[in-house]
């Protein structure tokens, strides 16, 4: 029998604890007796949180269900009164915390609030949030439930010490009496519980990576004769005037770099080639030389070079016109088998799918693939309107793709044809640190680098070897005499800390993590991050597909993604509901590992972060999979990196892929629920503190609530065992699992292929609510309905009956798209994540989590001051315009040292110089809590 969470026994126990003096004494340490927004004269609990519009109903429903159950269980204590929950959502996280801070300053804030880990110590010390440890410790069932959630997430809300001497706990455990710090054994306080342990990885549109599309990428060539038109942005609209027509005149931009032969795995065609021959847009496992240029504005590389296109000029400058040679190992979504006897690669105790490996791309492979695929998609007429749905579909074609060689390039959308973009790897968000944390941080993680050290006090790497390159006077840092303004490398630090990371086989390694914006590993990763745009033009906002200026275009990465015009975009665990609002014809969202360090590449060439003139940066890794601390050695390069410029078998590709499985990272953070400490003040109702703690527990560890939140597309389960059930809902042995009713593209738990039937029903139900404003309830609409599986067998429709009385017209919508489809799927317990996406989501919690870098810092200015995308003096963000004559010689127009920038007339600088010039500002912000 499965254990049901937070039933009456545990709730009664909470009331008993409250009657005891210890809990009241612990809770009543705050100043005064200010009431929460719920007041002290009624049976109302106020809950003030932020959540997406699509998740409001889910969270409010959990609160109301709890109130009904708790009131029934505590009828005598409550005098027959029923608790009501005043649910107050906010859709904007930034404004939420700003408003909350103001409310806390006045002492008038809700009974239950969101608590950021960075505020735990300050809110606890000032008596604003309740220590709930003693409430939980009094009941073994509650302790067991807390021990069932992600342990790292629980520690975010735990402290040791008292008053202003409190410290964050690194991890906590229960010693039989109290929660204690795992390292010191000191008793811990617990000021909140994690709403979730959320992660943010790389999403992609699976429609662009079907077998049919992969066959096209690996068959078609830029030089194929055709007549395909394109478009440019002008004053916010797309126009054809001045736009390029692709005729097949482009040659030499994509060529084979070696001689050889292969069988195309997507078409089974046998291909023999020589170095210099024209190659398809993508070839897996074969060295291909790319000369990237802005195909949105120019038909050929030579045209782009003549016009001063900075992409083409950069290729000519830094490669001598040869281009960058790259071996691409595969496409997003592809997998391979890891057998139990694969050395150092199989973790028999893993909660995720240990027998599966996922194709992971390095930084440069990811950029090259984005450029090559979008080049094809924009220069061939592959898409058209489906007359049955009004949405996009792939044109039928013969073996030579004749039908794709005339017409409009790009993708058909309901607003007309749009250009297709690689995505948006952004770092700058006005007023927040979302960009650096979400996008840059995972790239750093894969290169053993971080913005900040583990004490959260250093964003500056202050030493190189045994030499101090920076020092402080009070809170102000400056460079020492050891640096040389003419030698940028003298400013680059290499001090590191040991940081524990999990290996593929389940062992751990103490990685040598270099902290600070001027560390060797940081500037290498940061330069690569901006090469994604500067060389590979894969950032929606800066692609240069404009008539005159970037201001002509107002189209960001998320807008492109939901329109079906973006290959990639970041996806958080909370985003499922947002993207399920879009029809899968347009956006079939998947998850793929974020890009990893070039040091793990089979063979790539790139421009490095220092813009070295005389040679390309070459990476080639020939390592084999190790275990324990030996995994640190897997970054080692071949003695002769040029020897890696060769064709690879699939076995060789998979052996290299093993190195990458435990190197990629997804941004991980948490936000928690906390109880207003003043609910336990003298004069407050005696029932209230225990009830508030109980509601927090219901929102965080109640099994049924976790299932509801997961179906709602808000998160994956907080409870570790439920994640296993989420992954294996349709596997024998999980018939009693929490997700036995889930419907995914793999069908139902019994193995029936019912996804298409349910999806059609969800579309019909959403349309009835959104378009027809139907007053029918869910129960009325679904009464007697059946779906037909792929074998023609009918099945009774199953749905979540807690929504039975909701009217279709009252379904809520998402933020970016408004169709009610995500709500309809929630009702039908549908999630469009396959086993691949579910597996990757769980890996992020175990093995591939890169902690949010500003999690424990008071301010974020120290982080957001490094924001190259907001500056015009960074080459990556000038590619929307041709280089002027004074900038056209990149060997002389780009500053490469501190002396260059301070003493010369430069307007462009290298990524490495930008990091060095910014890091003191960052450190001084950090030292002053800004």
Question: Encoding tokens for residue 730?
Answer: 């349709």
* Mean pLDDT per 10-residue interval, the chain, length 930 residues: 36 41 31 43 89 79 92 93 93 82 91 91 91 91 86 87 81 91 91 86 97 99 98 92 95 98 98 98 99 97 96 94 98 98 97 96 99 99 98 97 98 96 82 77 97 95 97 95 97 97 97 98 97 94 86 87 97 87 97 98 97 87 98 98 98 99 92 93 92 92 85 82 93 94 97 98 98 98 97 97 95 88 96 95 91 86 88 76 87 93 90 97 94
- In sequence order, the 6+-apart residues with CB closer than 8 A to the CB of 664 are 360, 442, 445, 446, 593, 594, 595, 596, 848
d(CA 433, CA 437): 6
Closest by Cα among 517, 528, 539, 516 to 601: 528
CA 545/CA 159 separation, integer angstroms: 52
Does some domain include residue 593? no
Are the CB atoms for 355 and 348 separated by under 8 Å? no
Helix axes 520-534, 363-379, angle to 10 degrees: 0
- The residue count of the chain comes to 930
What 3-state DSSP class applies to 438? helix
Joined together, the tokens standing for residue 828 give: 């039908």
In a domain, 557, yes or no: no
Question: What is the C-alpha to C-alpha distance for residues 265 and 186, in angstroms, rounded to an integer?
Answer: 58
CA 446 to chain centre: 14
- The answer to whether residue 35 sits within a structural domain is yes
pLDDT of residue 572: 87
- Say how many CA atoms lie within 13 Å of 330 toward its Cβ: 20
The three-class DSSP label of residue 900 is helix
Q: Which two tokens stand for residue 833?
A: 């994540």
Whether residue 177 contacts residue 140, with contact meaning beta carbons closer than 8 Å, is answered with no
- The span from the CA of 754 to the CA of 658, in Å, is 35
What are the CA-CA distances from residue 902 to residues 452, 462, 488, 490 (Å)?
A: 27, 22, 13, 16
pLDDT 10s digits, 149-175: 887 788 889 999 887 678 888 888 999
Label residue 482 exposed, middle or buried (CB < 10 Å: 0-12, 13-18, 19+): middle
Q: Maximum Cα–Cα distance for the chain, whole Å?
A: 87
Asked if residue 185 is part of any domain, the answer here is yes
Six-digit token pair at 680? Answer: 């336990």
Token duo for residue 866: 């490094």
Q: Which CA distances in Å does 110 have to 101, 271, 679?
A: 12, 67, 10
- The DSSP symbol for 481 reads T
Cα distance between residue 590 and residue 560, in whole Å: 15
In a domain, 224, yes or no: no
- Would residue 541 count as lying in a domain? no
SS (H, E, C) 280-344: CCCCECCCEEECCCCCCCCCCHHHHHHHCCHHHHHHHHHHCCCCEEECECCCCCCEEECCCCCCC
Residue 152's φ and ψ, nearest 5 degrees, are: -65, -35
Phi, psi of 463 (to 5 degrees): -145, 155
E strands, 647-804, are 666-675, 786-788, 794-796
Counting beta carbons within 10 angstroms of the beta carbon of residue 398, is it exposed (0 to 12), middle (13 to 18) or buried (19 or more)? exposed
Residue 484 DSSP code: B
- 891 burial (CB, 10 Å; 0-12 / 13-18 / 19+) is exposed
As given in the structure block, the two tokens for residue 13 are: 């126990």
Q: How many domains does the structure of the chain reveal?
A: 1
> Which residues constitute the domain of residue 51?
8-147+158-191+676-711
The Cα 823–Cα 61 span in angstroms is: 13
Question: Is residue 12, in this structure, part of any structural domain at all?
Answer: yes
> Residue 49, Cβ neighbours under 10 Å: how many?
23
DSSP-H helix ranges across 380-450: 434-435, 441-445
* pLDDT number for residue 32: 35
94: CATH: 3.40.190
Q: What is the pLDDT of residue 576?
A: 85
Q: Provide the pLDDT for residue 541.
A: 86
Inter-axis angle of helices 310-319 and 520-534, nearest 10: 130
Query: Residue 569 phi/psi, 5° resolution?
Result: -165, 150
Helix (H, G, I), strand (E, B) or coil at 629: helix
Cα 393 to Cα 412: distance, rounded to the nearest angstrom: 8
Radius of gyration of the chain (CA): 28
Contact call for residues 104 and 128 (beta carbons, < 8 A): yes
Spatial neighbors of 377 by CB under 8 A, at least 6 apart, are: 208, 409, 410, 411, 420
Would you say 239 and 547 are in contact if contact means Cβ atoms under 8 Å apart?
A: yes
Across 710-745, b (16+ Cβ under 10 Å) vs e yields bbbbbbbbbbbbbbbbbbbbbeeebeebbbebbbbb
Cα pseudo-dihedral 135, 140, 146, 148, rounded to 10:
-170
The structure tokens listed for 145 are 């439930």
Q: Strand order in 245-246's β-sheet? A: 245-246, 227-229, 406-408
């Amino acid at each position: 029998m499965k254990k049901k969470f937070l039933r009456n026994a545990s709730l009664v126990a909470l009331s008993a604890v409250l009657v005891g003096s210890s809990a009241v004494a612990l809770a009543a340490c705050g100043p005064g007796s200010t009431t929460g927004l719920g007041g002290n004269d009624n049976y109302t609990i106020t809950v003030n949180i932020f959540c997406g519009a699509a998740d409001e109903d889910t969270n409010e429903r959990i609160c109301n269900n709890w109130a009904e159950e708790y009131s029934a269980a505590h009828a005598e204590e409550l005098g027959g009164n029923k608790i009501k929950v005043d649910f107050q959502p906010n859709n904007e996280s930034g404004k939420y915390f700003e408003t909350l801070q103001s409310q806390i300053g006045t002492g008038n804030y809700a009974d239950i609030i969101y608590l950021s880990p960075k505020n735990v110590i300050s809110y606890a010390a000032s008596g604003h949030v309740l220590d709930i440890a003693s409430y939980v410790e009094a009941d073994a069932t509650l302790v067991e439930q807390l021990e069932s959630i992600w342990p790292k997430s629980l520690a975010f809300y735990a402290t040791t010490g008292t008053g202003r001497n409190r410290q964050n706990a690194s991890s906590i455990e229960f010693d039989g009496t109290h929660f204690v710090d795992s390292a010191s054994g000191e008793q811990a306080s617990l000021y909140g519980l994690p709403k979730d342990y959320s992660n943010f990885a790389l999403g992609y549109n699976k429609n662009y990576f079907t077998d049919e599309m992969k066959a096209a990428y690996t068959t078609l060539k830029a030089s194929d004769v055709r007549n395909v038109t394109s478009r440019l942005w002008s004053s916010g609209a797309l126009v054809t005037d001045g736009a390029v027509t692709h005729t097949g005149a482009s040659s030499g931009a994509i060529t084979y770099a070696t001689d050889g032969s292969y069988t195309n795995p997507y078409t089974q065609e046998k291909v023999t080639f020589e170095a210099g021959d024209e190659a398809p847009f993508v070839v897996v496992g074969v060295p291909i030389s790319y000369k990237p240029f802005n195909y949105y504005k120019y038909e050929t590389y030579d045209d782009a070079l003549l016009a001063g296109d900075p992409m083409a000029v950069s290729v000519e400058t830094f490669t001598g016109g040869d281009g960058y040679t790259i071996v691409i190992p595969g496409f997003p979504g592809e997998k391979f088998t890891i057998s139990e006897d694969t050395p150092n690669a199989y973790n028999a105790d893993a909660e995720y799918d240990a027998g599966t490996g996922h194709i992971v791309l390095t930084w440069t492979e990811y950029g090259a693939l984005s450029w090559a695929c979008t080049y094809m998609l924009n220069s061939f007429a592959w898409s058209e309107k489906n007359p049955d749905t009004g949405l996009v579909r792939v044109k039928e074609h013969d073996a030579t793709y004749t039908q794709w060689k005339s017409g409009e390039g790009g993708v058909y959308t309901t607003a007309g044809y749009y250009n297709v973009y690689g995505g948006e790897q952004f770092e700058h968000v006005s007023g927040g640190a979302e960009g650096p944390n979400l996008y840059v941080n995972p790239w750093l993680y894969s290169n053993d680098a971080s913005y900040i050290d583990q004490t959260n006090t250093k964003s500056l790497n202050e030493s190189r070897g045994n030499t101090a390159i920076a020092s402080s006077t009070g809170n102000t840092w400056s460079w020492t005499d050891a640096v040389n303004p003419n030698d940028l490398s003298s400013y680059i630090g290499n001090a590191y800390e040991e940081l524990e990371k999990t290996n593929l086989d389940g062992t751990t390694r103490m990685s040598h993590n270099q902290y600070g914006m001027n560390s060797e590993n940081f500037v290498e990763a940061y330069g690569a991050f901006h090469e994604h745009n500067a060389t590979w033009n894969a950032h929606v906002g800066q692609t240069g597909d404009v008539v005159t200026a970037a201001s002509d275009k107002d189209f960001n990465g998320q807008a492109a993604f939901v329109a079906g015009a973006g290959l990639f975009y970041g996806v958080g665990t909370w985003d499922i509901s947002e993207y399920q609002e879009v029809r899968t014809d347009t956006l079939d969202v998947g998850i793929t590992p974020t890009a990893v360090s070039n040091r793990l590449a089979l063979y790539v060439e790139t421009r490095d972060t220092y813009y070295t003139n005389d040679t390309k940066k070459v990476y080639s890794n020939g390592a084999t999979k190790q275990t324990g601390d030996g995994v640190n050695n897997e970054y080692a390069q071949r003695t002769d990196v040029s020897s890696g410029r060769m064709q690879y078998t699939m076995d060789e590709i998979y052996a290299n892929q093993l190195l990458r499985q435990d190197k990629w990272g997804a941004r991980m953070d948490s936000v928690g629920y906390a109880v207003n400490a003043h609910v336990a003040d003298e004069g407050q109702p005696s029932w209230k503190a225990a009830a508030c703690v109980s509601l927090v527990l219901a929102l965080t560890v109640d099994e049924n609530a976790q299932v509801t939140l997961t179906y709602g597309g808000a998160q994956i389960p907080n409870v570790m065992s439920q994640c296993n059930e989420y992954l294996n809902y349709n596997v024998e042995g999980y018939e009693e699992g929490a997700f036995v009713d889930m419907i995914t593209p793999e069908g139902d738990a019994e193995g029936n292929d019912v996804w298409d039937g349910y999806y059609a029903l969800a579309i019909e139900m959403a349309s009835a609510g959104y378009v027809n404003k139907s007053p029918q309830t869910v129960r009325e609409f679904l009464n007697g309905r059946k779906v037909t599986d792929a074998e023609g067998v009918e099945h009774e429709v199953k749905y979540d009956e807690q929504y039975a009385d909701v009217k279709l017209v009252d379904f809520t919508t998402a933020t970016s798209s408004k169709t009610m489809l995500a709500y309809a799927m929630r009702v039908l317990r549908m999630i469009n994540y396959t086993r691949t996406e579910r597996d990757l989501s769980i890996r992020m919690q175990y093995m591939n989590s890169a902690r949010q870098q500003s999690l424990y810092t008071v301010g974020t200015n120290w982080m957001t001051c490094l924001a190259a995308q907001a500056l015009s003096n960074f080459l990556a963000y000038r590619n929307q315009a041709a280089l002027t004559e004074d900038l056209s010689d990149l060997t002389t127009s780009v500053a490469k040292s501190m002396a260059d920038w301070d003493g010369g007339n430069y307007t462009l600088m290298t990524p490495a110089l930008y990091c060095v010039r910014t890091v003191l500002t960052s450190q001084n912000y950090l030292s002053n809590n800004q």
